[in-house]
A and B are shown apart, each in its own frame.
Chain A
């Protein structure tokens, strides 16, 4: 088994991002109340469900998508969903240190979407 430099790079990027989303996802599932204050008013008005439930759903989404990244299953789809999810967070948080950090994570996540699955060891839009 010959792992190329490119594959190492993508593996590290994918695993790093997966770890991040898994940590935040599990954290929201295990201790949802600590995250309720982050739920914006518009999300509650839009979804018509309690903020605590939104946290749980968000946590479940991040765990599932993070797991797909970790397991390299539908990686590019998962990265696309997580990138769009982060885009909403970045817009919501605004231009501060947390928003800028999330912007960088979002860009890294979108980078996975645009990888050539035949050359970069990521599973993609055409799983085989």
Chain B
């Protein structure tokens, strides 16, 4: 490595730049694709696991929006989605779309955001059922 003044004809040639760039593009593309496949597989496993645990838990109950608003951060994150009440705390670090997508639902009615993001998607709906703790009181 030299500290001498660079010359107009650059040391990093166009060919070298192109090779480095092409490897980077293919590498990053492949990495992202692989990561998404892994995340999808995990989601499928979670959905299958949730399907096996369909039985309502003893704690399942009826909650008001006021009850839900008390669980508004990552230490305890509840949200009501389409009439169900869900404890999403454990899902925050696992969500394929990032933590922020779940954190913004904590303590609120997340129906609109969930439906906009995953409306009609059976896999995501299946994953959600695994976190159900009750229903929203009318």
Q: Identify the A interface with B (CB < 8 A).
A: 1-8, 11, 15, 18-19, 22-23, 26-27, 30-31, 33-37, 51, 66-67, 69-72, 98, 118-121
Q: Which residues of B contact A7 (CB under 8 A)?
A: 6, 10-12
Q: Which residues of B contact A15 (CB under 8 A)?
A: 20, 24
Shortest Cβ gap from B7 to chain A (Å): 8
* Interface members, chain B 4-60 (any A CB < 8 Å): 4-8, 10-14, 16-18, 20-22, 24-25, 28-29, 31-33, 36, 39
Whether B101 pairs with A121 at a CB distance below 8 angstroms is no
Q: Identify the B interface with A (CB < 8 A).
A: 1-8, 10-14, 16-18, 20-22, 24-25, 28-29, 31-33, 36, 39, 96-98, 100-101, 104, 113, 116-118, 121
Tell me what chain A mostly uses at the interface: helix, strand, loop, or mixed. Answer: helix
Q: Pick the contact of B28 from A3, A26, A34 — CB < 8 Å?
A: A26
Residue with the highest number of chain A CB atoms closer than 10 Å, among B1, B13, B24, B104: B24
- Given the complex of chains A and B, what is the CA–CA distance between A30 and B35 in angstroms? 10
Residue with the highest number of chain A CB atoms closer than 10 Å, among B12, B20, B31, B116: B12
Q: Which residues of B contact A51 (CB under 8 A)?
A: 116
Shortest Cβ gap from A59 to chain B (Å): 10
Q: Which residues of A contact B25 (CB under 8 A)?
A: 22, 66-67, 70-71
